[in-house]
Amino acid sequence: MSNDNAITVRGLRKSYGSSAAVNDVDLDVSRGEVFALVGPNGAGKTTTVEILEGYRDRDGGTVAVLGEDPARAGRDWRARIGIVLQLTAEPELTVAEMVSMFAGFYPQPRDPREVIELAGLAGLERRRGHQLSGGQRRRLDVALGIVGRPDLLFLDEPTTGFDPEARLQFWDLIRKLAADGTTILLTTHYLAEAEALAHRVAVLASGRVVALGTPGDLGGREGRDTRVSWDSPGGRRTVQTVTPTEVVASLAAQFGGEVPGLTVIRPSLEDVYLQLIGADR
C-alpha cells in the first residue's frame, strides 16, 4: 500500500444475496486529490463509499484508507476523516451552536469561527437550522464535516437540489478545501461537477470500474470524433473528424477567412459517460 495514496483498493467485492453490488473494484486515490466516482443508480457507488468509510463490511478484497483497514480502524482513524451527511442541522440550534458542538467531538478541531467563514456562513452564526435555505443547510453540512480538520473528506451527491448559482458557490468551497490539502472523494450524478472539480474520474457500472482517467481523457475522449459544421452554398454541412483544427484551417482557406455558421462540437464528458455505461442519448 503506497504512502502516497489516501485510498488504495484491490479486488473489492460486496454482494447482497446473489446480486453483486461491487465486483472486483481497484482504486487508488492520491493524497490531496479530488477524485470523483460517477455511475448510474445501482452501480455500486454508495456501497463502495460506505466500505471506505468503515460503515459496511466487504466480502473480499483489500482496502487501506489513510493507511488503515476501515473495517478494523479505531477512533483516532475516524477523527481523520470527514463525512458530509445530509440534513444534519438541528432545526432549533444556531449555526454557531452546531459547529461548536461538532468541534467538541474531535481532538484537534478547527476554530469554529474559521470553519463558518470557510463554509460561506459568516453573518449567519445566529441563524437557526430551520431558518436556513437549502444551500445554506448544505454549507452547514460541509462545515460540520470539516470542523474536525479531516485529512480525507467524503462528499456524497453534495449539490443535489441546488440552483445553478448555489452550485457554483459550493464548487468554490470545494476548491478551497482542495487547495488547503484535503483529499476529497466525491460522488455525483452531475458530470459537469465532476469535470469542474475532479483531478480524476472513475465510472462505475454494474459494480465494476469501466473507465478511469482525467475528465479530459476519460474513455479516450480526446481521440473521439469532433463534429465540425458550417454553412455551404449547397446548405448545412457536417463532418466528423479527429483533427478538427486541420478541418477548420482548410475551411478558412476555402472561404478566404471567416467560415459562415461554423460550429465545432467536441464530445462532452456526458457523451462519453453515456457510451461507457451503455446508455443511448
| Confidence (pLDDT) at 182 | 92
| Confidence (pLDDT) at 281 | 40
User: pLDDT tens digits, residue range 230-275?
Assistant: 999 989 999 989 889 999 999 999 999 999 999 998 878 888 888 8
Angle at 109 between CA 103 and CA 112, to 5 degrees: 60
Question: Any idea how long the chain is?
Answer: 281
Instruction: Give the C-alpha separation, 207 to 194, whole Å.
Output: 19
Bridge partners for 200 per DSSP: 35
Residue ranges with strand state E in 217-258: 226-232, 235-241
User: pLDDT tens digits, residue range 69-96?
Assistant: 999 999 899 999 999 876 666 888 999 9
Q: What is the pTM of this model?
A: 0.81
| Confidence (pLDDT) at 280 | 41
Q: β-strand 5-16 against 226-232: which pairing, if any?
A: unpaired
Q: Where are the domains of the chain?
A: 220-276
User: pLDDT tens digits, residue range 166-208?
Assistant: 788 888 888 988 998 899 999 988 888 999 999 999 999 999 9
